[in-house]
Amino acid sequence: MYRHVRRGSATVCALALLLGTASAQADELELDWSGRIQSDLRFRMQPVGVGEWYSRQELPAGVERNWNTLGLKLEANYGRFHGVAAVDFVWSGVPERMTAIGDLSRVEKAEPYRLEARSIYMEAEGIFVKGLDLRIGQQVVSWGVGDQFNPTNNLNPDDLRDPLLFGRQVANFMVKADYWINEDWSISGVLVPLFKPAMLPLSGSLAVAQLDRLPFVSDSLRQRVVAEQAAAQTLFGHPTIIGNVTPVLPEPTFDNMQVAYRIAGTIKEHDVALSYYNGRTDFPQPRSNHTRQALGRRCNPSDTNDCVEGLLLTDVTLEYPRMHVYGLNVTGEVNPFSWISEEINGLGYRFEGALVVPQSQSIRLTNDALALGIPQAAGEYDYDGDGQPGGPGGREPLVVDNTPFLKWVLGLDYTFGEHVYVNAMWVHGLVDEYGAGDWIKEGYTVRQSGVIEGSNVLACALSKNGQTCSREILRPRLGDYVVLGADFKFANQAGMFRLFTILDATPLVEDTWDDEQGKRVQRKISPLSAEGFSMVIFPELDYNFGNGLELAAGALLQLGKPYTKFGSPETGGSTVFTRAKYSF
């Protein structure tokens, strides 16, 4: 690390005097530089993709990424004032897709690069009144206590571009004030003027491309749409595919500013915090679908007998609904074995819970005039099937209702001597899961849907009732996960082997029509069965050579059927990785 110290300037001294924080003797300005050089090389073990030949989206096997990063951090201290600037310069070794000969002259295409501001802020201690600290600028505010899973961390958007850095968040401009009542208790307030969305991985587009995962809360509407899409494809040769997907961010108005408050303190060596957040979910929800027709016969290049007469393209608009989040964090250590020996390590525990009160969001369905076997006029969808779009009972269907729901993390950790650390957690609801639906209150999201083989899809479509034709695999909107991990250190603490696993403990449901019973029936699919099993296995070997050099290698194995949580294509599939980092 390089350090430079010099006397403060008259301007800085004048500012300190103005704020009433200058000391009788001039303070010194201290500058601390640090940085890192890091190279990540990652390989996707098998291709993952969605869609048929006419709409196929696929991520190939091979090099998944090659990110080369130069990270620089500057910290400045002058008395009670502190400033931080941390930026990453990232070069990608994987060229972007070339679409024209002119792209060969553009270095940003051949060697993509970007600049990311990790933090740029300034803060002052004891400003205006004793005990009041103020921080302004690009920053990350982490109030959660869970290990990587933090349902109360809502001020910053989630950064899911790199699954190996799960739990990371993107810095955002904030004004944060902390008032220390005494040494143990503080009150905090944060204002976030501009909303930022979550950053998604490259595989994130595959989630939206799976049109069989219909978002409607209404069972009957989903069943009807499944039948109509099947009829359009099988009878009229027009399959439905995804068109344009447009996320719409909130306008930068006063009404769309985010605010949060927290009171935190210590009770008999146990840390406790209560928090409140008023803002939006940073994961988008569908707000409108518009269907248009693309005429023209197309045939599968691999099978000239496999043809379609045209396509129905659905353009999707996404929005970010409002929500209120009430949080509780408790963490500490207990030692149930202290009666044996005071030298036995204590057992660490942490609980992080969030009560989320969402704003309901509906979706508007419209279409151009569609020239199918049964022509359909342009306009809004007939939601209730009475032949009068928008009439009585024809309200826009919900994709998220306003029912409150809970997310939480309960974790225990223990250290065995100097070489072994173990961690166990129960996680209820991941960052991308939103809306009421779990073992507390019923509510599902669709993981796969289609028509029952041999069913009369035309009759279902014409009757506007698809319950005898559709089959769905459903999953509660909020899942439960068992997280187990351990770190094993060796070679005088220079080497470490890490093994973490995440088991999806959420049962699935198959919902279908039963002719014998004359009704729809549900069959539970156990998370321990071959059909419902889904798991992440993350082994990593890391070695610190000293003087700042670290090398690591490992794998991220995501297992399960394509409709499960971790086997789904949008996770990006299983990868192996190597990483080299030099810190200075």
Chain segment 281-309, per-residue pLDDT in tens: 999 999 999 999 999 999 999 999 999 99
Q: How much is the pLDDT for 388?
A: 58
Quickly state the pLDDT bin for 109 (edges 50, 70, 90): confident
Q: Is the pLDDT of residue 10 over 50?
A: no
Which secondary structure element, helix H or strand E, spans residue 87, and what is its range?
Answer: strand 81-92
Question: Taking 50 as the threshold, does the pLDDT of residue 581 lie above it?
Answer: yes
In a domain, 25, yes or no: no
Query: Is the pTM of the predicted complex or chain greater than 0.85?
Result: yes
Per DSSP bridges, beta strands 285-300 and 364-367 are: parallel
Judge whether residue 21 has pLDDT over 50: no
- What's the domain range around 378? 205-583
Position 26 scores a pLDDT of 62
Please report the pLDDT score of residue 17 as a whole number: 37
What's the pLDDT tens digit per position in 312-325? 999 999 999 999 99
- Lowest-confidence range among 108-117, 508-517, 547-556? 108-117
Residue 11 scores a pLDDT above 80: no
Domain-located, residue 461: yes
546: burial class by Cβ within 10 Å (0-12, 13-18, 19+)? Answer: exposed
Backbone angles phi, psi at 16, to 5 degrees: -65, -40
Q: Within a domain: residue 55?
A: no
Question: Whole-number mean pLDDT of the chain?
Answer: 92
Q: Is residue 121 part of a domain?
A: no
Mean pLDDT lowest for which of 30-34, 414-418, 480-484?
A: 414-418
Distance CA 581, CA 551 (A): 6
Q: How far apart are CA 272 and CA 125, in angstroms?
A: 23
Helices assigned H by DSSP within 186-248: 205-208, 219-234
Count of the separate structural domains present in the chain: 1
The two three-digit tokens of residue 196, written as one number: 């930022």
> Does residue 120 lie within any of the structural domains?
no
- Greater model confidence, 365 or 21: 365
Residue 509: which of 479, 477, 474 has the closest Cα? Answer: 474
pLDDT digits (tens, 9 = 90+) for 360-414: 999 999 999 998 877 788 999 999 876 654 444 478 999 999 999 999 999 999 9
pLDDT at 328 > cutoff 50: yes
Is residue 8 predicted with pLDDT exceeding 50? Answer: no
Least confident of 98-102, 139-143, 408-412, 418-422: 98-102
